[in-house]
Amino acid sequence: MPHLNPTDAIRPAHVEVSLGAIAQNYDAIRAHVGTASVMPVVKANAYGHGIVEVARHLMNHGAPCLGVALLEEAIVLRQGGITLPILVFGGVATRQIPQFIAHDLMMAASSIDKLRQIDEAAAVVKTKARVHLKIDTGMERIGVHWYNAEKLLEASLSFTNVEVAGIYSHFANSDSADLASAKEQLARFFEVLEFYPKRGLQPPQRHIANSGGILQLPESHLDLVRPGIMLYGVYPSKEVPHTVTLQSALSWKSQVVYFKVVQPGSSVSYGGTWQSDHPVRVVTVPVGYGDGYFRALSNRGQVLIRGQRHPIAGRVCMDQFMVNLEWGTAYNGDVVTIIGSDGDETISAQDVADWAGTIPYEVLTNINSRVPRVYV
């Protein structure tokens, strides 16, 4: 997505991303975790903020490496001039291995068969492929079970064309008030890691801490931490302590494009789910579920106009929604804040998630490429 100024955007809607806020959050995380390295996670278009722009800014800011979910995301970064080490967290299909090697990407390895395939592919091009061994300590997603991990670790020492650069796991419940299961996962991970000192070996880079772990499990910081949503100024849940002060990096704004007075008993939007028993002023905003603004926000969501909160009236359409001003004032061209601040009022990604019955991760990653990004 090209850099745009708000006045340059063709449509009257844009997302504003503060790269400075992201850098400040990175610095706050780095200060919090002491000697551990920080791997910014930029998957899912950097949680909706723009993968190449965010990665480039963090690279220039001194980040040592990056994490993504998919091979395609990593290739986009390489094509965008990102030269940092990149770890792809997701499962690796055999046909993808040559692409990982060609683009100098680190991949997750969770089986001896996969290590063998990686070793053979690296031998063909006379290089060493870098992997991080993935251990499943309780997520039941990808990774070798912790109780079967020893054979994988033993085998990983024998492949001459594979460099084991790291070993990692992932918390399932580190953003909960009850940390019992997260602590159990961490204990299982430590049990796996005993493989190395028992053989007089230095372990590769060890990591398990995501945003929740960074915030409330300091014993999980180890050699590397992987901040995702907190990097963008959003806490992973309402249950975590704010042990790191964060700045929100994203605001979503549009404009009023139509104003009308709706008479009593006249229905607004599809399905006729909203009407008033008295005359009200209603404005139209050119954003809809086609942009990633959830239809579940119909008759539930709120926006800010002229520093005042106003509710959505009727169903969210694919490209537009309507707002009930009651008898408030607005003019065509007035700024509509969907996420962000206006005057003394703020709508956060968490607020939108609460109204839609989801989580802020989904709110941010759902804002699609129809919405221009503006970098400040």
Q: What is the pLDDT of residues 286-345, one digit of tens each?
A: 999 999 999 999 999 999 999 999 999 999 999 999 999 999 999 999 999 999 999 999
CA 351, chain centre distance (Å) = 17
The alpha carbon dihedral of 144, 133, 215, 237 has a sign of: negative
Question: 126-140 burial by CB neighbour count: b if 16+ within 10 A, else e?
Answer: eebbbbbbbbbbbee
Q: How far is Cα 152 from Cα 139, in angstroms, rounded to an integer? A: 18
Write out the two tokens for 14: 């844009």
* 47 within 8 A of 82, measured Cβ to Cβ: no
CATH number for 19-232: choose from 3.40.50.11890, 3.20.20.10, 3.30.1300.10, 2.40.50.320: 3.20.20.10
Tell me the residue length of the chain: 376
Q: Is the pLDDT of residue 10 over 90?
A: no
Q: How confident is the model at residue 354 (pLDDT cuts 50, 70, 90)?
A: very high
Judge whether 43 counts as a catalytic residue. yes
Write out the two tokens for 181: 């299961």
pLDDT digits (tens, 9 = 90+) for 120-154: 999 999 999 999 999 999 999 999 999 999 999 99
* 82 within 8 A of 105, measured Cβ to Cβ: no
Q: What is the pLDDT of residue 3?
A: 45
Question: 187-201 burial by CB neighbour count: b if 16+ within 10 A, else e?
Answer: ebbbebbebeeeeee
Domain assignments of the chain as residue spans, ordered by start: 19-232, 250-375
Write out the two tokens for 276: 């008033």
Same fold, 19-232 and 250-375: no
Q: Looking at the domain covering 250-375, what would its CATH class be?
A: mainly beta
Of the candidates 26, 43, 47, 253, the residue annotated as catalytic is 43
Judge whether 270 counts as a catalytic residue. yes
Write out the two tokens for 248: 């929100």
Q: Is the pLDDT of residue 4 over 80?
A: no
Of the candidates 147, 258, 270, 331, the residue annotated as catalytic is 270
Cβ atoms within 10 Å, residue 165: 18
Q: Is the pLDDT of residue 7 over 60?
A: no
